Amino acid sequence: MKLFTSISLLLLTGGSAALTVREVQDGQTGVLMVLPPRQTDTGSKPIPDPAHPYIAPGPNDQRGPCPAMNTLANHGYVSRNGITTFEEMILAGQEAFNMDQNLIAGMIVPNFLAHGNLFTNKISIGGISPFVPPLPGNIDGPATLGIAKHGRVEGDASLSRSDAFIGDNRNFNQTIWNTNLEEISQFAVDGPDGPNTVVNVQTFIEIKRQNIESDQALNPQFAMPLRRYNAVFAAPAVALGQVFFLVNPTAGVTNRNFDTSLFSNGTTNLLTKNILNSFFEHQTFPAHWFRASAPVVAATTGAFNAEIAAGLPQWFPGHNDENGVFVADPPAPAPFNTSIACGAYWDQIVNGTPGSLANATGILKQNVDLLNGILFAGSKCSQSVEPAGPTYV
Ligand X SMILES: *[C@@H]1O[C@H](CO)[C@@H](O)[C@H](O)[C@H]1NC(C)=O
Binding footprint of ligand X on the chain (CB under 6 A): 162, 166-168, 173, 175-176, 265, 267-268, 272, 275, 286, 288-290, 334, 337-338, 355-356, 358-359
Question: C-beta of 157: minimal distance to ligand X in Å?
Answer: 11
Question: C-beta of 176: minimal distance to ligand X in Å?
Answer: 5
Measured from the CB atom, the residue of 124 and 173 that comes closer to ligand X is 173
Measured from the CB atom, the residue of 239 and 332 that comes closer to ligand X is 332
Question: C-beta of 175: minimal distance to ligand X in Å?
Answer: 4
288's CB contacts (< 8 A; 6+ apart) are 46
Question: C-beta of 243: minimal distance to ligand X in Å?
Answer: 19
Measured from the CB atom, the residue of 60 and 338 that comes closer to ligand X is 338
Q: How far apart are CA 96 and CA 125, in angstroms?
A: 17
Contact 33, 113 (CB under 8 A): no
Measured from the CB atom, the residue of 80 and 115 that comes closer to ligand X is 115
Measured from the CB atom, the residue of 238 and 276 that comes closer to ligand X is 276
Measured from the CB atom, the residue of 204 and 290 that comes closer to ligand X is 290
Question: C-beta of 87: minimal distance to ligand X in Å?
Answer: 28
Nearest to 251 by CA among 243, 261, 242: 261
Nearest to 376 by CA among 353, 345, 351: 345
Question: C-beta of 362: minimal distance to ligand X in Å?
Answer: 15
Question: C-beta of 308: minimal distance to ligand X in Å?
Answer: 21
Measured from the CB atom, the residue of 83 and 326 that comes closer to ligand X is 326
Question: C-beta of 101: minimal distance to ligand X in Å?
Answer: 25
Question: C-beta of 329: minimal distance to ligand X in Å?
Answer: 14
Contact 75, 63 (CB under 8 A): no
Query: SS3 letters for the chain?
Result: CCEEEEEEEEECCCCCEEEEEEEEECCEECCCCCCCCCCCCCCCCECCCCCCCCCCCCCCCCCCCCHHHHHHHHCCCCCCCCEECHHHHHHHHHHHHCECHHHHHHHHHHHHHHHCECCCCEEECCCCCCCCCCCHHHECECCCCCCCCECCCECCCCCCCCCCCCCCCCCCCHHHHHHHHHHHHHHCEEECCEEEEECCHHHHHHHHHHHHHHHHHHCCCCEECHHHHHHHCCCCCCCCCHHHHCCCHHHCCCCCCCCCCCCCECCCCECEHHHHHHHHHHCCCCCCCECCCCCECHHHHHHHHHHHHHCCCCCCCEEECCCCCEEECCCCCCCCCCCHHHHHHHHHHHHCCEHHHHHCCHHHHHHHHHHHHHHHHCCCCCCCCCCCECCCC
Length of the chain equals 393
Measured from the CB atom, the residue of 7 and 334 that comes closer to ligand X is 334
Q: How far apart are CA 42 and CA 28, in angstroms?
A: 37
Closest residue to ligand X, judged by C-beta, is 167
Question: C-beta of 172: minimal distance to ligand X in Å?
Answer: 9
Measured from the CB atom, the residue of 196 and 268 that comes closer to ligand X is 268
Measured from the CB atom, the residue of 84 and 252 that comes closer to ligand X is 252
